[in-house]
Amino acid sequence: MTTPTSTAVPAATRRAVLLQGNEAVAEGAIAAGARFFAGYPITPSTEIAEVLSRRLPEVGGTFIQMEDEIAGIAAVCGASLAGTKALTATSGPGFSLMQEMIGFATMAQIPCVVVDVMRGGPSTGLPTEPAQGDVMQARWGTHGEHSVIALVPSSVEECYTLTVEAFNLSEQYRTPVIILSDALIGHMREAVVLPEPGTLRIAERGTPDCEPDEYDTVTSTLDNILPRPPLGSPFRVHVTGLVYNRRSGAPDTSDPAAAADLGRYLREKIYHHRDAIVRVEEVEMHGAEVAIFAYGSVARSAMAVVRKLRAEGVPVGLVRPITLWPFPTLAVDRMAEQVRTVIVPEMNIRQMSWEVQAAVRGRAKVIDYGRVDGKLITPDEILELVKPEFYYHSWEDA
């Protein structure tokens, strides 16, 4: 008889593997415990579906190619209500089709993960080229007052780790979580050492800490968000897109106080935990006089500029939101108090720079720089924006 041996080896000796961003999202989903994918293929997200169509059956999961994106996310909501961690993946046009159901999932508090691998748009646009034009669609694409969580990977490794994180946040806060990748990150291959299984935190759904017949007597609070029991369990659950009573879950559209209670709760259950949710990477911000605020693939170009200029003694730093929504207000506050100029390069026209400007509130100059031709902003372009901010620096000698 053979006994299974541990495959655990120290991270340092684990071999790097070459993975594409989209493959890393798929593997991250498997690692997070996702066992259901439904969606409709679209460039540049298709590899996520392709890999999961092979991998999910291997781990006892289910893959369904639906007739369109609306059906895709509807099936994902159904799977999640039945107790299974579920995701879908798409690009801009499909993300638009999903917006109504993202609102339903927000209202009905259904944990799920939606991956939007952004490409040039609107419409069919530039199907194979990267863009960041959906960052506001992620925030405001669905209707009604709502909160949202959106994460932006800058590397293949983050495609993996942030997918795990997205599932954790969606389970913890019972809400859809959006991953905003792009055509460049999604199709890029990098040598990565993936975290050892077991070293990543995995949030499980759990069951309510009460008897089934007591379930409609307890109410979630901001600090104790009760898990939803799966459909078919002894717990009686009510799922509706209507405004509902937060205790019983039953529709109640006649009581303004109940509607206000739910509306504020759906927003505050995210914003109350903003500090725990929001992650920002601050690079070389010590003594920085100018900051570059950049996310996703553009942050890589910004990083190249910061490295180059710091080596020349020019005090430039990078603020890279990993969580784009909720907006990283605290980090932007710190930045606004410190630097005289914030440069916001992005592959859209002013979508996040408006948000940065609002948060900076005049404490620093905000320079926006947009590109919408499907090409990644280069380090040289960012460098040209930085130079005039250091007019006293002898650039010819640099």
Partner 1 sequence: MAERAGTGAAGSDAAPAARVEMRCSGSGGQGILLAAAIIAEAAAALGRRVVQTQSYGPEARGGASKAEVIIASEPIDYPEVQHPDVSLVLSQAAYDKYAADTRPGGLLIYDSGLVEPDPADESVVRCGLPFTQAASDELGKKVVTNIVALGALVAVSGALPAAAVLEAVVSRVPPRFRELNEQAFVLGLRLGEEALAMLATSSAARTS
Binding site for partner 1 (CB under 8 A): 15-18, 43, 127-129, 184, 187-191, 297, 300-301, 303-304, 307, 376, 378-379
Q: Which is nearer to partner 1, 157 or 368 (CB)?
A: 157
Rounded least distance, CB 40 to partner 1, Å: 17
DSSP 366: E
Rounded least distance, CB 302 to partner 1, Å: 8
Helix (H, G, I), strand (E, B) or coil at 251: strand
**Sequence-distant (≥ 6) Cβ neighbours of residue 57 within 8 angstroms:** 63
Spell 199-230 as b/e; 16+ CB within 10 A means b: ebeebebebbeeeeeebbeeebeeeebbbbbe
Q: Which is nearer to partner 1, 189 or 238 (CB)?
A: 189
The pairing of strands 341-346 and 365-370 is parallel
Spell 24-54 as b/e; 16+ CB within 10 A means b: bbbbbbbbbbbbbbbbbbbbbbbbbbebbee
Rounded least distance, CB 158 to partner 1, Å: 13
Q: Which is nearer to partner 1, 19 or 74 (CB)?
A: 19
Rg over CA atoms, the chain: 22
CA distances from 85 to 20, 89, 276 (A): 23, 14, 22
Q: Which amino acid is at 211?
A: E
Rounded least distance, CB 127 to partner 1, Å: 5
Q: Which is nearer to partner 1, 27 or 129 (CB)?
A: 129
Q: Which is nearer to partner 1, 133 or 379 (CB)?
A: 379
Q: Which is nearer to partner 1, 16 or 242 (CB)?
A: 16
Lookup result for tokens 């960052």: 135
- Distance (Å, whole) CA 300 – CA 182: 13
Q: Which is nearer to partner 1, 344 or 376 (CB)?
A: 376
Rounded least distance, CB 100 to partner 1, Å: 27
Rounded least distance, CB 227 to partner 1, Å: 40
Rounded least distance, CB 282 to partner 1, Å: 16
Q: Which is nearer to partner 1, 162 or 188 (CB)?
A: 188
Rounded least distance, CB 211 to partner 1, Å: 53
CA distances from 140 to 96, 144, 161, 215, 244 (A): 11, 9, 25, 33, 22
How many Cβ atoms from other residues are within 10 Å of residue 120's Cβ?
25
- Distance (Å, whole) CA 179 – CA 195: 19
